[in-house]
Amino acid sequence: MIQAEQIFKYFGNEPSRVTAVEDLNLTVEAGAKISIVGRSGSGKTTLLNLLSGLDRPTSGRLVIEGRELSRLNQNEMADYRLRCVGVVFQSFQLIPQRTAAQNVELPLIIRGMPANKRVRIVADALLRVGLEHRASHFPYALSGGEQQRVAIARAIVKRPSLLLADEPTGNLDSQTTTEIMQLIMQIAEESNLTLVLVSHDHELAVKYSERIVTMCDGRMSEVIAK
Ligand SMILES: Nc1ncnc2c1ncn2[C@@H]1O[C@H](COP(=O)(O)OP(=O)(O)OP(=O)(O)O)[C@@H](O)[C@H]1O
Ligand SMILES: [Mg+2]
């Protein structure tokens, strides 16, 4: 569950201060699937980075899965990122020198899981995204859709409760977009994940989520519940 209360996020200082998120209040129930839509520069990625713990609000209260993120120290925040939240990006963000399996394995290595235990869990994650036959491929030898599948496997291998996706289909053609969205929804459903999807594409958001949050100049201007 996500509870955001009076969240502000500023970048820089006056006179060139940018207000990226302004007085945002949002509650997302555990297991809900929501979309954030809005024009470029409206604060979508900033909000997602606050939810993923990559960045911290300038002010306000943000509670996710019972953890008040603003109160976590660096180690606790790293632990939150490693266990509770999986993130998928538009540009996949795979490490080019690592194979598909090695990319998926990384969060488990950082967590200190022994190698013999990792193998099965990685294989299982690749199977869930339909890429068991590409485990030893490097990212350059994978299509865009396949790279995004690896990124999804890397996000879910941690068994997170929250899945965040920032324009996950922004670099994919329409056929692959449908496949990737269906995969994300299927995984989110099966594992009862809370899903926050950022998209430029209003149609896509309407199709795949129960609730749509519109961002405009840092303000959450509208929530449409279906
Ligand atoms: N690190 C930063 N330093 C300064 N300003 C920033 C920083 N990150 C974002 N901003 C500004 O905050 C505002 C919101 O940016 P953000 O990246 O959240 O937008 P967005 O809605 O994700 O846009 P897009 O759809 O293009 O990805 C923009 O005006 C941007 O220039
Ligand atoms: Mg963005």
Q: Which protein residue has the closest C-alpha to ligand 1 atom 31?
A: 41
Which pLDDT tens digit goes with each residue over 85-124? 999 999 999 999 999 999 999 999 999 999 999 999 999 9
Q: Ligand 1 centroid to 43 CA: how many Å?
A: 6
CA 204 – CA 189 distance, rounded (Å): 17
Q: What is the CB neighbour count within 10 angstroms for residue 17?
A: 11
Q: What are the residue ranges spanned by the domains of the chain?
A: 1-76+194-226
Which pLDDT tens digit goes with each residue over 121-143? 999 999 999 999 999 999 999 99
Which residues form the pocket of ligand 1, taking CB atoms under 6 Å from any ligand atom?
Answer: 11-12, 18, 20, 38, 40-46, 200
Assess whether pLDDT exceeds 80 at residue 226: no
pLDDT at position 188 is: 96
DSSP assignments along 62-127, one per residue = EEETTEEGGG--HHHHHHHHHHTEEEEETT----TTS-HHHHHHHHHHHHT--HHHHHHHHHHHHH
CA distances from 2 to 33, 67, 123, 158, 204 (A): 12, 10, 30, 19, 23
pLDDT at position 103 is: 98
CA 109 – CA 99 distance, rounded (Å): 14
By the 10 Å C-beta count (0-12 exposed, 13-18 middle, 19+ buried), 144 is classed as middle
Which pLDDT tens digit goes with each residue over 171-220? 999 999 999 999 999 999 999 999 999 998 888 998 999 899 999 999 99
Q: Which protein residue has the closest C-alpha to ligand 1 atom 1?
A: 11
Neighbours of ion ligand 2 (CB under 5 A): 45
Assess whether pLDDT exceeds 90 at residue 14: no
For 12, the token pair is 């820089």
C-beta of residue 162 within 8 angstroms of C-beta of residue 85 = yes
CA 162 – CA 35 distance, rounded (Å): 13
The preferred substitution site among 7, 11, 50 for testing ligand 1, maximizing ligand atoms within 8 Å of CB, is 11
Q: Ligand 2 centroid to 116 CA: how many Å?
A: 38
Assess whether pLDDT exceeds 70 at residue 160: yes
Q: What is the CB neighbour count within 10 angstroms for residue 186?
A: 12
Q: pTM score > 0.75 for this model? A: yes
Mean pLDDT across the chain, nearest whole number?
94
CATH fold, domain 1-76+194-226, is Rossmann fold (3.40.50)
Which pLDDT tens digit goes with each residue over 28-57? 999 999 999 999 999 999 999 999 999 999
pLDDT at position 225 is: 63
